[in-house]
Amino acid sequence: MDLLAQAAIFFAAAVFVVPLFKRFGLGAVLGYLIAGAAIGPSGLALIPESENVVHVAEFGVVLLLFVIGLELQPQRLWTMRNTVFGLGGMQVLTTAAVIGALLAAFDVAIETAAVIGLGLALSSTAFALQFLAERGELTTRHGRAAFAVLLFQDVAAIPILALVPLMSANATVTDGNLPAWLAIAKVTGVIVLVVVGGTYLLRPLLRVIAGTRVPELFTAAALLIVTATALLMSLAGVSMALGAFIAGMLLANSEYRHELEANIEPFKGLLLGLFFITVGMGLNLGLLTERPVEMALYVLALLGIKAAVVYLLARGWSMTPRSAKDLAVSISQGGEFAFVIFATAVAAGVLTPAAEEILILVVSLSMALSPLIALSNDALTSRLSTPARPVFD
């Protein structure tokens, strides 16, 4: 099948499936995943192999991290520091520790258990924030807490992605035949180069380009910044997303921040959607029929552990039982960064492809169940808040 036909199938799947999921409040991310499953090997097999588009789709994640860096203003972080680093940090570490310890108890290797725990500790920013916004709950106590926790998770995803390759059994020798200390020095040098270059070169460059008043040139410059930093990190053997995140963070206080974000957004949305479609194509739906009870237990365990951890931490943060419950429900699902972390772990040899298949399906199912759990939570809250009718003899 030629590339043009593949592109037509990808776009058709997105255009027809995603709006339906948005219409029923299930979220665009889940729509992309189901669209991918429908056209992939487990579905209609319209595109049997997805390797031709995987690398292009992964660039969507790089652009996402650049935009997250742009939005990560130090002043904002400082204002919310107690909730972001306190509640957010405790949520990620505690959830990862609980899941990792359970897996280690079943003789899973420590490094594998750690990667799985960290990946599953993250929630879906795309789903949770959209869900809270649609319900007008972003300004509530649990809405603000959810935003802070998700912000920390987005930031935490960067070092997690950088750490995953170091957990590999072959991490002592990296970058060909370079010893570990020299490889670390190389990575440090590239990061310093990106930071220094971004601090002293990017703003003057953007000022000159903005002076030309050619909009498409500014778009090209924005993409150049992302691709150049991603390429430098890739050459150093580090996640491309880390370079994009650093570049975005360096421009967070720039006068061109909003213009950069506006120019990157269409590319980010399109390629990120393509990334989720390729993830959906890799969903092994046969696991649902082959091991239905086992898969159900995995999903319930993930939702239960995350909800319990979040609820207990929120109560410790002086939140009311109702706010803590609503917070737990809103961020108990798995997240989109789990797909990236597990793919990186497979490439590093920390995770087997078979384990990745199970984990991706579990995360996807947890996202699919989130709207239903939220509706059940609403019904329970309404029932508990309704005063009992008096009974007369």
- Give the single-character DSSP code of 178: E
- By C-alpha distance, which of 23, 58, 104 is closest to 271? 58
Identity of residue 23: R
pLDDT score at 264: 80
Q: Which of 61, 10, 35 is nearest to 239 (CA)?
A: 61
- Give the per-residue pLDDT at 88: 92
Do 125 and 29 meet the contact criterion of CB atoms below 8 Å apart?
no
Tokens of 25: 């409040």
Q: Could you tell me which of 337, 385, 384 has the C-alpha nearest to residue 151?
A: 337
Q: Are the CB atoms for 280 and 104 separated by under 8 Å?
A: no
Q: How far apart are alpha carbons 354 and 322 in whole angstroms?
A: 39
At the second CATH level, the architecture of 3-379 is Up-down Bundle (1.20)
User: For position 123, what pLDDT does the model report?
Assistant: 92
Is residue 374 within 8 Å of residue 329, measured between CB atoms?
yes
Q: State the residue for tokens 């808040």.
A: 385
CA 141 to chain centre: 23
CB of 281 closer than 8 Å to CB of 35: no
Helices 353-385 and 321-330, packing angle to 10 deg: 150
Q: Mean pLDDT for each consecutive 10-residue tract of the chain (393 residues)?
A: 77 87 76 85 72 65 78 73 89 96 93 95 82 78 89 85 76 52 72 77 83 82 84 75 78 79 79 79 83 93 96 92 92 88 90 92 87 79 60 45
Q: Cite the DSSP H helix spans in the chain.
A: 3-23, 28-39, 51-71, 74-79, 81, 89-105, 110-121, 125-134, 141-163, 180-200, 202-212, 215-235, 240-250, 257-281, 286-290, 292-316, 321-330, 336-348, 353-385
Angle between helix axes 240-250 and 141-163 (nearest 10 degrees) is 130
Report the distance separating Cα 290 and Cα 281, nearest Å: 18
* Element holding 254 (H helix, E strand): none
Structure tokens that stand for 166 in this block:
């170091």
Q: Residue 392: what pLDDT? A: 46
67 closest CA partner among 245, 273, 227, 254:
245
For residue 43, give Cα distances in angstroms to 34, 290, 386. 10, 16, 45
Q: Give the pLDDT score at 93.
A: 96
Concatenated DSSP letters of 130-176: HHHHHTT-TTSHHHHHHHHHHHHHHHHHHHHHHHGGGGSTTTTEETT
DSSP codes joined into one string, 283-304: --THHHHHSHHHHHHHHHHHHH
Rg (CA), the chain: 22
- Entry pTM: 0.76
User: Nearest CA to 361 among 307, 305, 291, 310?
Assistant: 291
Domain ranges of the chain: 3-379
Give the sign of the dihedral formed by CA 163, CA 146, CA 95, CA 367. Answer: negative
